[in-house]
Structure 1
Amino acid sequence: MKIQGRMFIWLSVFILAVAIIYGLWSKEPVGTTALFMSFGLSIMVGYYLAFTARRVDTGAQDNKDADVADDAGELGFFSPHSWQPLVLAVGGAFAFLGVAIGWWLVYISAPLLLIGLFGWVFEYYHGENQNQ
């Protein structure tokens, strides 16, 4: 993660320089604002990656002598049969379509988004409060 953090921090320095030069040269507020917001986003990601790299063990990507197989293994748990991402995708598509067609479609998509989000978050909730 150290390398990725450094890459994002250097990217943010570059974007900041471009934003300042672009803002002074063009005097165009929308592009300048977008560049400054891109700087903010890249510095946040770079800081997070650099901060997290100090707290976790060194990964294979930070070792110059590592092989590809050194980073192999289990990456996490992925649900094999979840329908909730599909519900969220349909709700999100309707919400974005509502911007183009009409805002009334957002009112239809909001319950779909809430149902999909609630279902996905609590899909594997098993605990002592499950039946209460």
Structure 2
Amino acid sequence: MKAEQWLFWALAIYLGLMSPVYAFSTWKTQGEVEIIGTVVLILTFLFLVMIGAFIALTGRRMDARPEDRLDATVADGAGPVGFFAPASIWPFWCALVVAMMFLGWIFGYWMTIIGVGIGVWAVAGWSLQFYRGDYAH
């Protein structure tokens, strides 16, 4: 977890340094601090600190992963990657529904409502595809 931890810490340090720079630069150009951008930068800094601290504390309680050990070999990281569906039409239907919902912004809200209705069916089909048919378990 060391690489992930340092990624969040580095981003937090950057935003911690850039928040006052942003506030000062908007104050100098506009005569007052642009408050929304400053608040967003500060909140993002705080969220990155929170995630970095969580990963640091969690990483101390866990055993070191092969990526974190200097004496690890490639074979230490071998193992099952995960289970993937052999063939599924459901991602196609979900993508079609998302396209339909975005086209609803152009052609009318009625198309978005129809897309949401079909989307419930498509997401349910994708989520439950291994509970029926040839691949049921």
The residue number in structure 1 matching 2:41 is 35
Aligned to 2:104: 98
Deviation per CA, 1:62-113: give whole Å up to 9, x if none: 1123344432331111111122222222222222333355433321221232
Q: In structure 1, how many angstroms separate the alpha carbons of the residues matched to 2:87 and 2:19?
A: 45
Question: Which position in structure 2 is the counterpart of 1:70?
Answer: 76
Q: Indicate which of 114, 117, 125 corresponds to 2:120.
A: 114
Counterpart for residue 9 of structure 1: 9
Larger radius of gyration: 2
Q: Which residue of 2 aligns with 1:24?
A: 24
Distance 2:62 2:129 in 1: 29
TM-score between the two structures when normalised by the length of structure 2: 0.67
What is the distance in 1 between the residues matched to 2:123 and 2:54?
25
Cα distance in 2 for residues equivalent to 1:102 and 1:54: 53
CA 1:116/1:35 → structure 2, altered by over 3 Å: closer, same or farther?
Answer: farther
- Unaligned 5+ segments in structure 1 are none
Q: Which has the higher helix share?
A: 2
| C-alpha spacing 1:16/1:82, structure 2 compared with 1 (3 Å) | farther
Counterpart Cα distance in 1 of 2:103 and 2:46: 29
TM-score (norm 1): 0.69
2:97 is the counterpart of 1:87: no
Aligned-partner residue type, residue 60 of structure 1: P
Among 56, 63, 87, the residue aligned to 1:50: 56
Moved more, 78-87 or 25-34: 25-34
Shift of the 82–11 alpha-carbon distance from structure 1 to 2, 3 Å rule, reads same
* Cα RMSD (Å): 3.0
Over the matched positions of the two proteins, sequence identity in percent amounts to 33
CA displacement, residues 42-71 of structure 1 (integer Å, 9 cap, x when unaligned): 445434543543454321111123344432
Q: Distance in 1 between matches of 2:70 and 2:112?
A: 50
* 1:102-132 CA distance string (max 9 Å, x none): 4333212212321222122222248xxx9xx
